[in-house]
């Protein structure tokens, strides 16, 4: 039986048929503002609060204060405490890129991975991480090696990716093939604001719901609604994927 | 003059092929077989390239028959020759980040 790591995100674990496969790497894709970072914050926060699992947050995008403010803005009031206690270890962009030298941070990171006290990891974003590599082949090789390292150290990981849902004419990034799971966060503008959806396109070893489900971002983070018919969905022809 | 030395070393028969093939660590015997180089020449080229830091001794791995085998990996990604002012050979080394990931990944398989 496959062991699962529960995200604790309302509605998402049901779609995933229980959770994310333990020690796997899942790509969270979406346009800016789609909710990728919020999902990641929530994943680590729930890990500590609900499942007694520690996490590591790697951010090339934001610094520690921004992350804390983002967490507190959706009601994760204990975020700062968890960071202080070391239940959530944050490597923000300042730490990761200190003296313009990611390689020395990488060394510290690799030590932490081996430490075995962490169960969850977030990499925000893979897009930035990939900038350290020169060409497609190198990106591919090192993404595979990196995910191998995470897996062997028993970390269940989310990686964010700046990519919208795939339109017919666009290429699907290599990343989508190299990771165990793919979750897309989709936002479409409407007259009154924005409609949000989540689509779990792939999850290796798991029997998942592959429909697109409506979601909202509110106090407490992402909330996914199982009952798709209660929302006005786009017609089949207009579907973004 | 160091630059000319490097070019001379690179220009020797099989040197470029050896660098091309050592993206992942290879033993002298592997290289000799794969590139069809006489084994003595292969050792000589490896020594020359190592002397100029173009190639590095990466590890001593244990073979199937429990002997220690030296494996080599190239240390450079790109070499540029500039004739504009004075002859200048610039060498771009492999990135530290990839080196560290390689190392960590290798210890997984050993662990």
What residue in B sits closest to A135 (Cα-Cα)? Answer: B77
Total domains in chain B come to: 1
Adjacent-strand bridge partners of A161: A29
**How many angstroms separate the CA atoms of A214 and A233, rounded?**
8
Neighbours of A100 (CB within 10 A): 5
Is the Cβ pair B108, A146 closer than 8 Å?
A: no
Residue whose tokens read 């081996």: A114
Cβ A35 vs Cβ A196: under 8 Å = yes
Is the Cβ pair A152, B111 closer than 8 Å?
A: yes
pLDDT tens-digit map of A19-48: 999 999 999 999 988 999 999 999 999 999
Closest partner CB to B100 (pick from A106, A138, A152): A106
Minimum distance, in Å, between the CA of residue A12 and any CA atom of chain B: 32
- The tokens of A241 are what? 């994927």
**How many angstroms separate the CA atoms of A237 and A235, rounded?**
5
Peptide bond into A233 cis (omega under 30): no
Closest partner CB to B105 (pick from A102, A106, A148): A148
Neighbours of A195 (CB within 10 A): 17
What residue in B sits closest to A107 (Cα-Cα)? Answer: B100
Closest partner CB to B105 (pick from A102, A132, A149): A149
B71 is in which domain, residue-wise? 2-110
Neighbours of B49 (CB within 10 A): 26
Please name which of A121, A115, A119 lies closest in space to residue A52, comparing C-alpha atoms. Answer: A119
- Ordered by where they begin, the domains of chain A are 4-230 (3.40.50.300)
User: pTM here?
Assistant: 0.75
Cβ A161 vs Cβ A127: under 8 Å = yes
Please name which of A78, A183, A68, A71 lies closest in space to residue A126, comparing C-alpha atoms. Answer: A183
The reply to whether B98 touches chain A by the CB within 8 Å rule is: yes
One digit per residue, the tens of pLDDT, for chain A of length 241 reads 689 999 999 999 999 999 999 999 999 999 988 999 999 999 999 999 999 999 999 999 899 999 999 999 999 999 999 999 999 999 998 888 875 567 778 888 888 888 889 999 999 999 888 888 878 888 888 999 999 999 999 999 999 998 766 555 556 677 777 889 999 999 998 888 899 999 998 888 888 888 899 999 999 999 999 865 444 444 444 445 5
pLDDT tens-digit map of B79-107: 999 998 888 888 888 777 887 888 788 77
The reply to whether B93 touches chain A by the CB within 8 Å rule is: no
Cβ A48 vs Cβ A119: under 8 Å = no
Helix (H, G, I), strand (E, B) or coil at A152: helix
**How many angstroms separate the CA atoms of A179 and B49, rounded?**
38
CATH of the domain at B84: 1.10.10.10
Query: Helices in A28-130 by DSSP H: which ranges?
Result: 36-51, 64-73, 79-85, 93-96, 102-114, 126-129
Strands (E), A88-180: 88-91, 118-124, 156-162
Cβ A25 vs Cβ A147: under 8 Å = yes
Minimum distance, in Å, between the CA of residue B2 and any CA atom of chain A: 27
């Amino acid at each position: 039986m496959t062991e699962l790591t529960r995200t604790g995100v309302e509605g998402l674990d049901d779609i995933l048929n229980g959770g994310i496969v333990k020690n796997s790497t899942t790509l969270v894709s979406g346009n800016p503002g789609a909710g990728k970072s919020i999902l990641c914050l929530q994943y680590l926060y729930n890990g500590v609060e609900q499942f007694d699992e520690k996490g590591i947050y790697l951010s090339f995008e934001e610094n520690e204060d921004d992350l804390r403010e983002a967490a507190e803005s959706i009601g994760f009031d204990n975020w700062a405490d968890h960071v202080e206690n070391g239940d959530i270890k944050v490597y923000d962009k300042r730490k990761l890129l200190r003296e313009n030298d990611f390689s020395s941070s990488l060394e510290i990171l690799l030590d932490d991975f081996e430490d075995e006290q962490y169960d969850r990891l977030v990499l925000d974003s893979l897009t930035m991480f990939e900038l350290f590599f020169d060409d497609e082949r190198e990106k591919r090789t090192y993404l595979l090696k990196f995910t191998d390292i995470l897996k062997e150290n028993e970390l269940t990981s989310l990686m964010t990716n700046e990519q919208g849902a795939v339109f017919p004419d666009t290429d699907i990034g290599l990343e989508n093939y190299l990771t165990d799971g793919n979750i897309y966060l989709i936002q479409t503008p409407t007259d009154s604001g924005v409609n949000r959806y989540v689509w779990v396109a792939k999850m290796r070893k798991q029997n998942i719901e592959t429909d697109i489900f409506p979601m909202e971002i509110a106090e407490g983070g992402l909330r996914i609604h199982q009952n798709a018919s209660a929302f006005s969905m786009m017609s089949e022809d207009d579907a973004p994927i | 003059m160091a630059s000319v030395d490097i070019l001379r070393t690179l220009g020797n028969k099989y040197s470029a092929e050896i660098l091309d093939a050592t993206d992942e660590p290879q033993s002298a015997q592997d290289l000799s077989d794969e590139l069809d180089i006489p084994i003595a020449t292969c050792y000589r080229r490896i020594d020359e390239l190592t002397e100029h830091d173009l190639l590095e001794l990466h590890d001593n791995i244990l073979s199937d028959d429990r002997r220690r085998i030296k494996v080599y990996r190239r240390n450079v990604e790109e070499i540029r020759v500039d004739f504009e002012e004075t002859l200048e050979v610039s060498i771009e080394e492999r990135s530290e980040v990839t080196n560290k990931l390689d190392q960590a990944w290798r210890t997984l398989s050993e662990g």
